[in-house]
Amino acid sequence: MQTGNNSNLDFLRAMAVLFVLVGHLTYFRGIMRVGPLNIIPLGFWGVLVFFVHTCLVLMLSLERQWNQRGRSDLFVTFMIRRCFRIFPLSILVVALISVFNLHQATLNPGQFLGTVSTPWDIVCNLLLIQNLAKRVSILGPLWSLPYELQMYLFLPWIFLLIRPSRSIWRVVGLWLVSLGVASLALHYQWIPDLALYLPSFVPGVIAYQLMRSERFRLPAVFWPFAVAALTVFALTEVGWKYRWTAGLILGLAVPRFVPLSSRWIVVPSQLIAKYSYGIYLTHFFSIWFAFEALQPLPKLMRMLVFAACAVGLPVFFYHAVEEPMINLGKKFTDRLPLWTSGLRYAPPSAAPPE
């Protein structure tokens, strides 16, 4: 497999979190359109891009795990590492919002709104099961994390399903099944709403399968333009079928481009991608604190405060919380083969963090 596509994936992840940040910031400022484009769904599109990207990166992670350990503890190791990656920062953020009673649940033009949280609401947010329990996220962007966690339960088994063959038809069939289930979910409320997002996750699996084989490569310079064009398409029409189509096109496009190599775009993409989870979970606070809580201050001062929070908080939380817990999760799972199967453990090869 060709794995030199990391710079393109960094760019995609960076753009996804910037779509979310810019989408929410412009909506708060009352900016609904840019020319003919309705940019209200920009943040939601950024989340769907995250879904495609996440599935692809985690399929690559599962392949590395398979090469190191084989089938032993594939599911357990994968889930433990993902929990150490996702939960520590989300739990901390939920705890801080609850303790200080911050208004971070809903974003309106010029105003953030909170929600009256019962102990059960807080528990659901801590466990990231808001969608299953039909509870409100006390932090608006937290809504997407339960869907990611629930999709993680399926990814190891999808990996085992498609691993024996490089054929694209298995994953195309998988996407068609996901599309059928999602279409049913639009009409039958008893189907879990995770089904609505399956056609946005599976394109990441399609991209992974395409990356396993040699494919024609388009010049790297066209990759940012492809992402921009697809974003315009996603914002032109609103509706699930357009969202699913845009996600599929993105999954098909990712393996088609030569990796970016220009430092002026690669280095910023790497940095933004590295801190993207912190950006995602703290940008509501950054906008609220700078432009609502500090509203009496001069505009320039509020912009500087926003920039400081938007950059400083993700960097701080990454080094104080995310990175140590990621490393702890890896150390914990490195010992699993000795505990569960007695298999000889092969040290992990050098690879980018998932």
Interval 234-253: pLDDT, tens = 998 778 989 999 999 999 99
Residue 50 CB coordination number (10 Å): 23
Distance from chain centroid for Cα 46: 8
pLDDT of residue 340 exceeding 50, the answer is no
- Give the Cα separation of 223 and 254 in Å (integer): 8
- The answer to whether the predicted template modeling score (pTM) of the entire model surpasses 0.95 is no
pLDDT of residue 149 exceeding 50, the answer is yes
Q: What is the model's pLDDT at position 116?
A: 86
pLDDT-derived band at 341 (thresholds 50, 70, 90) equals very low
% of residues, the chain, pLDDT over 70: 93
- Identify the residue with better confidence: 341 or 173: 173
- What mean pLDDT do residues 308-323 have? 98
Q: Which are the contacts of 283, defined by CB distance < 8 A and separation ≥ 6?
A: 20, 21, 24, 25, 141, 310
pLDDT-derived band at 337 (thresholds 50, 70, 90) equals low
242-276 exposure pattern, b = at least 16 Cβ within 10 A, e = fewer: ebbbbbbbbbebbbbbbbbeeeebbeebbebbbbb
pLDDT-derived band at 6 (thresholds 50, 70, 90) equals confident
Q: How many CA atoms lie within 13 A of 180 on its CB side?
A: 6
Q: What is the model's pLDDT at position 335?
A: 81
> N- to C-terminal Cα distance for the chain?
17
- Give the Cα separation of 255 and 206 in Å (integer): 10
- Give the Cα separation of 269 and 14 in Å (integer): 6
The answer to whether the CB of 149 falls within 8 A of the CB of 130 is no
- What mean pLDDT do residues 287-302 have? 96
Q: Which are the contacts of 335, defined by CB distance < 8 A and separation ≥ 6?
A: none
Q: What is the pLDDT of residues 13-68, one digit of tens each?
A: 999 999 999 999 999 999 999 988 899 999 999 999 999 999 999 999 999 999 88
- What mean pLDDT do residues 182-193 have? 92
Q: What is the model's pLDDT at position 36?
A: 85
> 220: which 2 tokens?
């790297």
CA distances from 18 to 85, 202, 275 (A): 21, 22, 11
Give the mean pLDDT of the chain: 91
Q: What is the model's pLDDT at position 5?
A: 52
- Give the Cα separation of 17 and 12 in Å (integer): 9
pLDDT of residue 283 exceeding 60, the answer is yes
